Amino acid sequence: MKQKREQWGSRWGFILAAMGSAVGLGNIWRFSYAMGEGGGSAFLIIYLLAVLLIGFPVMLIEFSIGRRTQTDAIDAFKKIAPKSGWFIAGVMGVLAAFMILSFYGVIGGWSLRYLFEYLTGGISGDSSDFFVGFIGGTFTPVLWQLLFMAMTIGIVYLGVQKGIELSSKWMMPILSFLLIALAGYSLTLGGASEAFAFMFQPEWDAFRDPQVYLSAMGQAFFTLSLGMGAMLTYSSYLDPEERLTSSAAIIIALDTLFALVSGLVIFPALFAFGLDPAEGAGLVFIVLPNIFEALGGVGTLVGLVFFVLLSMAALSSAISLLEVAVAYFIRKTNLGRKKVTLIVGLVIFALGVPSSLSQGAMDITVFGAPFLDFMDAFTGNLLLPLGGLIMVLFVGWTWTKKEILHHGDVGQQAWGPLYVFTAKFVAPVAILLVLVIGLMNW
């Protein structure tokens, strides 16, 4: 007997859940260090253009597939184009979500461990030594990974409305409040003018670096959770008559604003303490704890708020990744949500254990790279852009112009022809560039 498919309780429930999927470690962690390494404002300008010209149309494409088919990421392509190979885009999306969550859960566990440390007094001494010692452990990092995955499984276990939608409705407002509060405090530390100059005054020489374009375009694509089936799966729980364009615009605007305000949390603090904004991936777990310690007594409170923020952002993205796989296996096995969620969640946790142990406890490598780094590079450089490229080609080149306009809800919009042009030409070329150059760098 086929199970009745769940739906969102409200349009804003969907928007907040989709925003939660987009707002994650990528906004707070990756955006700041990518912007730091990319020269600041040059990266930001290219990023904003990429979000507008590529991110918005690609999100609409995912939404249009999900709402049209009302099913999971793989079956969606089989419904529209049966007996064809286009479903491989859905396979890549489900596989990417599965693999990303396996190591994302490890990093989410790190966030929870730091949150616990600041709840109990903060990190004293050299934060680099603390971080290396912690992630190099055999038991403790896996325990925190398990705790993070248990929280993720618990929310998805409760269902679309009672779990994902309800948690998003309270997490996203809290996230927004904490972020604004931290940005306000950071701007008082003495580095505000340097931070504003770095973020908003273009250094024109940086525009000559092709790597800045690649990094900004990649960030725009990945920060919106595109190519991994999350937006397609979430939109499949929409009422078939629900409007898409305004929802996509709101999600993208809020996600971009979240990333910008995150920059205003981090860069003023870095400049206030004379640190290099291009600190790299160790920014959150090594550099910022040193700043929190230097702030004295208030630093423990600031660190606590920051890691509450980081942990909640990681959790809101993790539940969307798990839901992609759960939605597929509910249909494929015809088992109930609760049973599927527990099984899939535990399998993903088990797959993540080698990623955790590869950070120092054991020598677990693939092609010479630690297991976690390989999983990150494989999904980010291959699965996501390739799956996204196939999906965009599917809509742009197999749907008629009328279908593209109708299912994207842009038939009455003056920019409808531009959307069709972007779907057919601009987005595929841009994603192909990200894919090719990313693979070359990898």
DSSP 263-279: HHHHHHHHHHTT--S--
Tokens standing for 413? Answer: 């919009």
Architecture of domain 11-441: Up-down Bundle (1.20)
Residue 144 CA to residue 137 CA, distance in Å, equals: 11
**58: pLDDT strictly greater than 60:** yes
DSSP structure string for 367-395: TTEEHHHHHHHHIIIIIHHHHHHHHHHHH
Q: Give the pLDDT score at 281.
A: 62
Q: Return the bridge partners of 369, or none.
A: 366
Q: Tally the C-alpha atoms within 13 A of residue 7's C-alpha that lie toward its C-beta.
A: 11
Q: Give the pLDDT score at 225.
A: 81
Residue 422 CA to residue 264 CA, distance in Å, equals: 32
Model confidence pLDDT, tens digit, residues 6-36: 999 999 999 999 999 998 887 887 788 788 8
378, 386 Cβ separation under 8 angstroms: no
Model confidence pLDDT, tens digit, residues 146-183: 999 999 999 999 999 999 999 999 999 999 999 999 99
Nearest to 44 by CA among 261, 191, 254: 261
Q: Which residue has the higher pLDDT, 60 or 243?
A: 60
Tell me the mean pLDDT in the region 175-200. 94
- Tell me how far CA of residue 177 lies from CA of 172, 183, 315, in angstroms: 9, 10, 17
- Least confident among 210-219, 242-251, 343-352: 210-219
Q: Give the pLDDT score at 193.
A: 96
For the chain, give the mean pLDDT: 92
**Encoded amino acid at 12, one letter:** W
Q: Give the pLDDT score at 280.
A: 61
Provide the whole-model pTM: 0.94
Model confidence band, residue 2 (pLDDT cutoffs 50, 70, 90): low
252, 36 Cβ separation under 8 angstroms: no
Q: What totals of helices (H) and strands (E) does the chain contain, helices first?
A: 22, 2
Tokens standing for 133? Answer: 């010692």
Tokens standing for 242? Answer: 């629900």
Q: Which residue has the tokens 């088919």?
A: 69
127, 352 Cβ separation under 8 angstroms: no
Tell me the mean pLDDT in the region 382-401. 94
Tell me the mean pLDDT in the region 293-298. 89
Model confidence pLDDT, tens digit, residues 312-330: 999 999 999 999 999 999 9
Q: Give the pLDDT score at 3.
A: 63
Domain residue ranges in the chain: 11-441
Q: Give the pLDDT score at 237.
A: 97
- Least confident among 217-226, 345-354, 428-437: 217-226
**List of residues 6+ apart from 64 with CB closer than 8 A:** 235, 244, 395, 404, 407, 408, 409
Tell me the mean pLDDT in the region 118-135. 91
Backbone angles phi, psi at 363, to 5 degrees: -90, 80
Q: Which residue has the higher pLDDT, 296 or 197?
A: 197
**296: pLDDT strictly greater than 90:** no
Residue 431 CA to residue 385 CA, distance in Å, equals: 6
